[in-house]
Every structure is written in C-alpha cells, then in structure tokens.
Amino acid sequence: MAYWWQKGIIYQIYPRSFQDSNGDGIGDLPGIIQRLDYLAWLGVDAIWISPFYPSPMADFGYDVSNYTDVHPMFGTLDDFDRLVEESHRRGLRVIIDFVPNHTSDQHPWFQESRSSRDNPKRDWYIWRDPAPDGGPPNNWLSRFGGGSAWEYDERTGQYYLHSFLKEQPDLNWRNPEVRAAMLDVLRFWLRRGVDGFRVDVSFRVMKDPLLRDNPPNPNWREGMDPADRLIERYSMDFAPDIHQFNRWLRQTVEEFGKDKVLIGEMDLPFERMAAHYGKGDELHLPFNFRLLFSPWKADVVRQLIDEYERVLPAHAWPNWVLGNHDQPRIASRIGREQARVAAMFLLTVRGTPTMYYGDEIGMENVPIPPERVQDPWERLAPGFGRDPARTPMQWDDSPNAGFCPPGVEPWLPLAENYRTINVAAQRHDPTSMLTLTRALIGLRRAAPALNRGSIRTLDAPDGLLAYLREAPNERYLIVLNFTDQPQGALLPEAFSSANIVLSTYLDRNELVTNRELRLRPNEGIVAMV
C-alpha cells in the first residue's frame, strides 16, 4: 500500500513571507488561504506551514509560548480551521510544525518552573547546579552563537539548559508529565484535521542524562559556525532514548489513523538518519538534508543516491530536500541555470520531495541591509543569518510583488528582480522555471515509475548524472548535465532508443534512435526507454 506522502510532493510555506491579507507587512493564515488555488494549480500534494503559534518571536515562532493557539499576527484558530477545510477541499494536505525540544521562556510552564526549586514544574525543564567553580554544569554550546548552552538563574541559583537561544529553554522529556502534555498537543491539532507534523530538531530532544562533556571537534576552523567547536556526542541524537521519543510520537499520531505523516528534522549522516525509521515504528520521513550541504557535482550526487539507498531499511521511504527556511536558496547556491537541473533531480529521484516556497520560480537570496536584519542568528553569528532566504513571495510585478498592499513596508525587503521573477510573469511563459516545475510535477504524478518506482544510477561521462526509474511496464531515464558545456552520452546497451519527453529547456520532444544523447549546457532530460 502506498501512502499519500510517498507519492506526494510537500511544499513548505514560511507564513510570515507567503501572503499578507491585512496590510501589516507580515504574511498570515488568511493569506495562505487566498493562495490555495495557486498551490492546487501547481500540483503539490501537501503544504507544510512553519510555526504560527503565540510567541515572543525571539526566534520567529520557534520559541512557543502556547502550543494550542494561533499568534494574533497570523490570525485565529478559526482561520486555521478554515485553512484546513479549504486545503482539504482542494485535495491539499496540511502539515504543521511541532516544536518539542524547547519552549519560550515566556511559556507559563517555564514561568512556573523557574519560580522556585520546589515548584511542581521545576523538573519540566533541565536544571542543574553550577560546576564546582560556579560555572555551567558542562561544556555544551548553544546552536545560536556558540556560547554556553546554560543560563544561570539568579533567583534559584541553578542553570537551565537551552540548546538554542537563552529564551528557548529545553524541555525535559524524561518527565512523564511533560511527555503527556506534549503528546496532548499533537492530539489537539490532529482533532482539528492536520495530516501530519514536521518535528523541529527532533534528534535533539533526548540528551545524555549524565550530561557528559562533548569532545572537541578537531576539524573546526576559524570562520566556521562557532557552535561546531565541539562534536555533539552527548547533547543530541542520544540513543537509544531518542528512538523511544520517536515511538511516542508515532503511537500518538496513529491513534488518528495510519495516513498521518511524521517528518523529523535532523542533520545526520545517512546511517544515523536511517536509524530513525526504526522498525517501521518511528518517523516516516527523517529529513534528508545532504543536498543542502554537499557540492553540486554529478559524481557527488550519484554517491549520495547510492549511499542513501544502500543504508535505507527495506520498509523505509526516502526523501530529498533542496531548500528550506534555514539555508541559502538553491538558485543562489548553484545559479539559475543549474536550479532548473536541480528541480528536475528533486522531482524525478526516488522519494518524497520537499519544495521551499518561491524555489519554483527561482527566487534568490536577498541582501538584507543591517538596519533591516530580523534574524537573531545574524546578530549572534554574523554571516550566518537566515533572512536572505525568507523574503516575501514574489507574486506579480505590482508594488511589493503582490505580497502586501502598496505603501506598506514588508517585514523583510523584496528582491530587486521581483518585477521579472514572479508567478504572474512566469505562469504564461512557456520556457519559465514555473512552467518547468509544473511540467515536472505533472509528469511525476502521472508516471508510476517516477512517483513509486525503483532507482538505479548509471555510469555516465564526467559532469553527467544518469539514473533509471522503473515500475512494471514503465521505465524512465534521467540524464542531468551539471556543467556549462555541451555533453554527450551513449544510451545503455539495453536500450535501442529513447523518447525524450521533457527537457529543462522545455523545447524537446524527440525520439533518439542512434543511442547517442546530446545535452546542451545546464540541460537535464527525462526520456522513456
């Protein structure tokens, strides 16, 4: 049996940046509703919405102060219910963020916890006495800025753990009361009709209960993220406890049926990531982020495919990610021409693809003037800010790109090229990035070999990546040119001909009968063989 999320395509929406419906320069839930017809037209199967919960916004919603409501900036619970209803009416599933590792320091739970050492919620967070010298309990580092992951509380004379900002204290999932409360959060949203959860930094939730020091990272150099000075052996992905956490989540969502999806955020080597599938009783899709951090080279990507497929358990379904709200945009990382090749890869490789809003039109990073910086990471670790990839969606060539009304300042500046790089301009352009993306989605949806078939990489000349997707009675060959030079390749001997059905140039539909494939610079092709 194939679940919807195995055949489907997930589209990530950063709600602050998708569509402003009320003229305050910030996107919101009613704005997403306004754009659902576009998403249905595009052909995606599910939307994943980044956090919209009440929050002081120290980390733009990943510091949650109430897990069961909507921040007034984004709308109301009624708006959310209408979003789910309108999405489902169009055949779109709804996935939301679940943030289990930490709350806001303004959450009532933490306010109680820090009020005194004997408060009933004291053990809901991770508190420890100072080290003998009065310093932090261990050497763990915060992911934001690389300072200590411990904050001293003058009132109670102990430190609390925060893997991220000090405004984001870590929850203690070893406390059964915490576990019960947080699993009830899942149930709250499942009862409102959500189809799954993307679990924020899921691999960090369970730490070493002995709080042992992390070892130094011998590969760290100046200019790298300061938080990477240590190897996080004890502060994340602590086994076997982390797998019990996965099972708690899985058991809870399955109370509402087998078709709900759990996606875990983790930046781990393939073998450790694959362990998070468990025996089919943990996460459905531990996020595969390797393309975000690997060189965009044909031989490297082939190696990633082969290694990933080798370590996946037999029951596991793969997934691939090219962009998200934490990383530079794909068109800026590899260039506009190769972004088209990357789109063809993402939508033809085996596994569930996750697309980041705006990548379907080739949006790029936007330089943020110092006075417009919003991301706290940029202030703590200059050069690592995430604002450039979070700028408003470019809908048309009107003032503010159709994101918010004219005369309103959007929360982040728009790209200078929005008058040409936008949905309206590309929607009727037969050679645009949007036209290509929609064609790839349509082909993937129609072809069992592409949405559920097997994969096998093939030998190819330097600079080319070739792989075969197969299903009963159907076979597709994908060849991608990672270079800016013309390239040639011979069809495998088993194939006497190939019918090219799609090119990234959107101008080829031809039968190749002499076994010789010619690719133009930065071209990818899909062929039936």
Quote the tokens at residue 472.
């009963």
- Which residue in the list 20, 151, 167, 200 is annotated as catalytic? 200
Q: Count other Cβ atoms within 10 Å, centred on residue 43.
A: 17
Dihedral (CA of 504, 508, 509, 513) sign: negative
* d(C-alpha 93, C-alpha 84), whole Å: 8
- Which residue in the list 184, 254, 255, 281 is annotated as catalytic? 255
* d(C-alpha 216, C-alpha 23), whole Å: 49
- Name all contacts of 373-381 with Cβ < 8 Å and 24+ positions apart: 374/60, 374/411, 374/412, 375/60, 376/58, 376/59, 376/144, 376/165, 377/144, 377/145, 380/144, 380/145, 380/147, 381/144, 381/145, 381/146, 381/225, 381/226, 381/227
HSE, CB side, 13 Å, CA atoms: give it for residue 34: 15
Q: CA separation (Å) from 68 to 54, 59, 71, 147, 180? A: 9, 18, 10, 31, 14
Question: CA torsion angle for 167, 173, 175, 178 (degrees, to 10)?
Answer: 70
Active site residue 259: no
Q: Single out the residue of 393, 394, 388, 322 nearest to residue 355, CA to CA.
A: 322
What's the distance, CA 382 to chain centroid?
A: 23
Active site residue 523: no
147 in Cβ contact with 379 (< 8 Å): no
HSE, CB side, 13 Å, CA atoms: give it for residue 233: 11
Quote the tokens at residue 376.
């706290």
Q: Single out the residue of 326, 333, 321 nearest to residue 291, CA to CA.
A: 321
Q: CA separation (Å) from 81 to 39, 91, 193, 482? A: 18, 15, 8, 44
* d(C-alpha 96, C-alpha 48), whole Å: 6
114 in Cβ contact with 187 (< 8 Å): no
Q: Which amino acid is at 130?
A: P
Question: CA torsion angle for 477, 291, 299, 490 (degrees, to 10)?
Answer: 20
Q: Where do we find the tokens 């899909």?
A: 526
* d(C-alpha 414, C-alpha 25), whole Å: 11
Q: Single out the residue of 500, 499, 501, 523 nearest to residue 442, CA to CA.
A: 501
481 in Cβ contact with 463 (< 8 Å): yes
- List residues with catalytic annotation: 200, 255
